[in-house]
Amino acid sequence: RHCADTLLQSTVKEVVVVLGNRTKVIEGQFKGRKIKVVVNSQYRKGMSTSIQEGIRTIDPNSHGILIALGDMPFLRSRTVNSLIRAFSHVKGTIIVPSFRGRQGHPVIFHRRFRKELMQLKGDAGGRSIIKRHPEEVQLVRIRSEGVVKDIDTWKDYKKEGSRGKGFG
């Protein structure tokens, strides 16, 4: 939910949350927010199916497709806004945040990559497209580790919370 709230606080025009595993438990957290919730019944086939469900749901006239991962609670809205600004200045590109030389998320793909995103298989995500089109990639240096730091377990989540590190 932190990631979705961060996106809502940014200048993103439309937020779509794709749920798969544990949908019933998670879905209620988005009630009352300006978020489209989509259920991916094919989630076991990998991240690509979630990306595709999200793309089917967004406005087909969107200039860009921002793919954010739900396990990145340290992402900041100002970071998202920086990426969107970079995207708006360079047409037909892929915007990738970079923190201390490490590429992170969220990534923004120009709409011309929509077809390639819809052809992804398994857990590849957009990384294969980024590798296939290095000339289209624009790295945006970000000062916040929130673009590379994720939380994979409840234990990690609680540990970070107890350290006093704010989420989002």
pLDDT of residue 53 exceeding 50, the answer is yes
Query: How far is the C-alpha of 124 from the C-alpha of 35, rounded, in Å?
Result: 25
For residues 120 and 48, the answer to whether their CB atoms sit within 8 Å is yes
Could you tell me the pLDDT band of residue 65, with boundaries at 50, 70 and 90?
Answer: very high
pLDDT digits (tens, 9 = 90+) for 126-146: 999 999 999 999 999 999 999
Peptide bond into 73 cis (omega under 30): no
Confidence label for 21 from pLDDT (cuts 50, 70 and 90): confident
Percentage with pLDDT > 70 across the chain: 85
135 class by beta-carbon count within 10 Å (0-12 exposed, 13-18 middle, 19+ buried): exposed
Can you give the pLDDT at residue 80?
Answer: 97
> What residue ranges do the domains of the chain occupy?
2-162
Going from the C-alpha of 75 to that of each of 20, 110, 130, the distances in angstroms are: 22, 21, 21
3-state secondary structure of 1: coil
> In the predicted model, is pLDDT for residue 167 greater than 60?
no
pLDDT score recorded for residue 97: 98
H-helix or E-strand spanning residue 110: strand 107-110
For the domain made up of 2-162, give the CATH fold: Spore Coat Polysaccharide Biosynthesis Protein SpsA; Chain A (3.90.550)
